[in-house]
Chains A and B, each alone.
Chain A
Amino acid sequence: MDFSSLNAVAMIVLLIGAATPILLAAIGELVAEKSGVLNLGVEGMMIIGAVTGFITATTTGSPMLGFAGGALGGALVSTLFAFLTQYLHSNQVATGLALTMFGLGLAALMGRNYNGIKPPRTDRLEVPGLSDFPVLGELLFSYDPIIYFSVFLVFAVWWFLNRTRGGLVLRACGENHDAAHSLGYNVQLIRFGAIMFGGACAGLGGAYVSLVRVPQWTEGMTAGVGWIALAIVVFASWKPWRVILGAYMFGGITILQLSLQALGISISGAYLSMTPYIVTIVVLVIMSADRKRASINAPACLGRSFHASH
């Protein structure tokens, strides 16, 4: 076998690109889950973000406006879920699944006239002198702004959740919504906000797929990334820093799979495409086998509907 075509630095650069949509969607979902909401509609919000981002970018010619449009689209469609689950008390699991299917259908409808169009190019952020520096320059300074933003976002979420009063209140809603309510916090409003943040992040991740990763619009192009993001939140046991670890690991598997295919190793492509999902399942099983640890880390009110009783 010829491994010389496998360039470690190039592979890392590639895997970070592949991991970014997962990272963005996962960090948004983490915030929603920390507030006690299980939103299984991540895939639907991503595909909506992918199509609204794509439409905005091709119409305006500005990729940055496209990313904003993607985030806005994801946030808007998430308000539907938020309204249904928070104010009409619909079941979160069923509503989340419905959101995914609704999002896939709506996105296909919206994107009918955008097949086969090239979006404006998203340039990488050039740092004069550093970006061309061998190895390190390539590893650290060869990315587009969204990748830097995604890492910053993880830090910001960590800081918000652990260092600010707002973050503490949000976590309190996820731990014991009755107690939070009796202390005078508006649980429904806080969760509404958390769901919208999750939607915006997922939409941004979707726009990254359609504007940078592929880059074009095709139906169903997010291809299960939203589900991986959901799994990563559990894999990370609701800790922001571990979300980065998880996302980059899964990005790595995706890239490795492509590289192995390029090397012509005779494993059926189907098996390789399966690996991220199989690893997800294995990791989830290992994590939840230890009931004690799993139940400590999970927000205690995750997925439970809150009814204000007085």
Chain B
Amino acid sequence: MSVLLEVESLSKSYPGVKANDEVSFAIQKGEIHALLGENGAGKSTLVKMIYGLVKPDSGAMLLEGQPYAPPKPSMARKSGVSMVFQHFSLFEALTVAENITLGMDDAPNRRELSAKIRAVSQDYGLPLDPDRLIGDMSVGERQRVEIIRCLLQNPRLFIMDEPTSVLTPQEVEVLFGTLRQLSANGVAILYISHKLDEILALCDHATILRHGKVVATCTPKEETATSLAEMMIGGELDIHIATTFSPGAVVLQLQGLDMQSKNPFGTSLRGVSLALRKGEILGIGGVAGNGQDELLAALSGEEKIAPAMIELAGEGIGGLGPNERRERGLLSAPEERLGHAAAPVMSLSQNAFLTGRIRKGLAPNGVINARKTNDFAREIVKAFDVRTPGVQVAAKALSGGNLQKFVIGREVLQAPEVLVVNQPTWGVDAAAAAAIRQALRQLAADGAAVIVISQDLDELMEISDTFAVLAEGRLSRPQPAEGLTVEEIGLMMGGDLEGANHAEA
């Protein structure tokens, strides 16, 4: 094998942080090369420089021995470097073929392109219908569109940014098959992830970043998950969570919850039923877009439904709005931090007021008690280690992980009877994620009931007492999380809600 891309002491600074500090590494032709690191280690900045989205401050790159400094992504694509982002740049109201055309610099005509899409997608085991609307597709299928768009341009280097975070285990297997096939055809793959088992299973070489610097390079096959993790976080993994589970009385009950989705591309809920007991953490898995947002909206009170469909401590509350539900102890934290869980331009203190007003008595006579509100915000910042200069800082000024700690902490500290969270650790680094999970566990240990909706199966397996899957708006029967195999979960995610029902709760 010979060297395809050589990165020589690339540096990039942003105000206050050195995102990349003298980073050097090399990618061989046809290898699958892992780029490993925690959130904020500088992985994204590095690949953005390779893809021409960000200009390095200093350093150089060589592509097959030639100087390589793409001023913009289209130049990178011309040199044979393509990239699939974590957040897709797709247009929901356009078809697959139209989306692919837009990403190509010399697109053939429609008929030719459709035929090509069919052929290439079949070749790589990722079947796609060129005429479907993106809005009607699952996240896994959307990723296929991005991949096929890149493959149609015959890349030499293919960059993938955390591609498996939204896929079912079966879809991950298919993706790995595709990547291995590409690698066998001589395409080098730069694979960004913080999932250690994937890197062990897939990658030939790994470069490990911490705080913007290369701290190690290794051959994953010679390493273990623990040794990789230690290189990545620079210390030993210490996550231990008690799993004594002795549930109390049923506190929240859903009965045949049907709800039409307000989003034309959303998924309607169909006959969702569950019984949640005190002290229980119910993990709800499933691929994004299978009704998660709708379920949260139904539980939080953003969408009103028939009163009897949701019972809280015996009272039908389906027709009540969010504030009335908060009063009764049902709290929730949605997935989207900015704009849904928190108002971006308002301060942390004001954001704390927005959901804490009722249970914390922050506005006793309709007048905001500023002292009490600030104290509550400070309490959250302190208890959840939110890194911020103060509570008067705008929510949008915080990094994603810090804001996430804040919005989860805000609900936890209101001592809910029932807490519903959607993607509680999305985009949060390992240490912060562990802290959030620990807080949720503690909440349950103190007698609250918790529903965790997440796409991260490892997280759900770690934190849940009981487990269920949302597939196409239907919820599988919750069952003990212990002893579930990945295969069983995968089947449930595929929509086979009965398949894994042998072990009943």
Q: Is there a chain A Cβ closer than 8 Å to B36's Cβ?
A: no
| Interface segment out of the listed A18-26, A148-156, A174-182, A198-206 | A174-182
The answer to whether A168 and B101 touch across the interface, beta carbons within 8 angstroms, is yes
Q: Is there a chain A Cβ closer than 8 Å to B54's Cβ?
A: yes
The answer to whether A179 and B91 touch across the interface, beta carbons within 8 angstroms, is yes
- Chain B positions 227-271 with a Cβ under 8 Å from a chain A Cβ: 262-264
The residues of A that contact B53 with a CB separation of less than 8 Å are: 182, 310
From the candidates B72, B74, B98, B262, name the one contacting A168 in the complex (CB within 8 A): B98
> What residue of chain B has the Cβ atom nearest to residue A293's Cβ?
B264
Query: Do A296 and B91 form a contact, CB below 8 Å, given A168-B98, A291-B262?
Result: no
Q: Is there a chain A Cβ closer than 8 Å to B90's Cβ?
A: yes
Q: Is there a chain A Cβ closer than 8 Å to B163's Cβ?
A: no
Give the number of A-B contacts (CB < 8 Å): 53
Interface 0/1 of A167-200, CB less than 8 Å to B: 0110110011011101111000000000000000
Count residues on chain A whose CB falls below 8 Å from chain B CBs: 22
The residues of A that contact B98 with a CB separation of less than 8 Å are: 168
CB distance from B341 to the nearest CB of A (A): 21
The answer to whether A179 and B90 touch across the interface, beta carbons within 8 angstroms, is yes
The answer to whether A176 and B91 touch across the interface, beta carbons within 8 angstroms, is yes
CB distance from B101 to the nearest CB of A (A): 6
Q: Is there a chain B Cβ closer than 8 Å to A295's Cβ?
A: yes
The residues of B that contact A169 with a CB separation of less than 8 Å are: 102
Query: Do A176 and B73 form a contact, CB below 8 Å, given A165-B101, A169-B102, A295-B264?
Result: no
The residues of B that contact A295 with a CB separation of less than 8 Å are: 263-264
The answer to whether A178 and B93 touch across the interface, beta carbons within 8 angstroms, is no
> What residue of chain A has the Cβ atom nearest to residue B105's Cβ?
A184
- Chain B positions 47-97 with a Cβ under 8 Å from a chain A Cβ: 53-54, 72-74, 85, 88-94
The answer to whether A183 and B103 touch across the interface, beta carbons within 8 angstroms, is yes
The answer to whether B94 and A300 touch across the interface, beta carbons within 8 angstroms, is no
The residues of B that contact A185 with a CB separation of less than 8 Å are: 102
A184 to B77, CA, bound (A): 11
From the candidates A171, A183, A299, A310, name the one contacting B89 in the complex (CB within 8 A): A183
The residues of B that contact A292 with a CB separation of less than 8 Å are: 262, 264
Q: Is there a chain A Cβ closer than 8 Å to B370's Cβ?
A: no
The residues of A that contact B102 with a CB separation of less than 8 Å are: 168-169, 172, 180, 183, 185
Interface centre among B72, B89, B93, B94 (most CB of A within 10 A): B93
Interface 0/1 of A282-310, CB less than 8 Å to B: 00000000011101100110000000001
Q: Which 8 A-B pairs have the closest CB atoms?
A: A179-B89, A175-B91, A184-B74, A292-B264, A182-B89, A296-B264, A176-B91, A175-B93
**Chain A residues in contact with chain B, CB under 8 A?**
165, 168-169, 171-172, 175-176, 178-180, 182-185, 291-293, 295-296, 299-300, 310
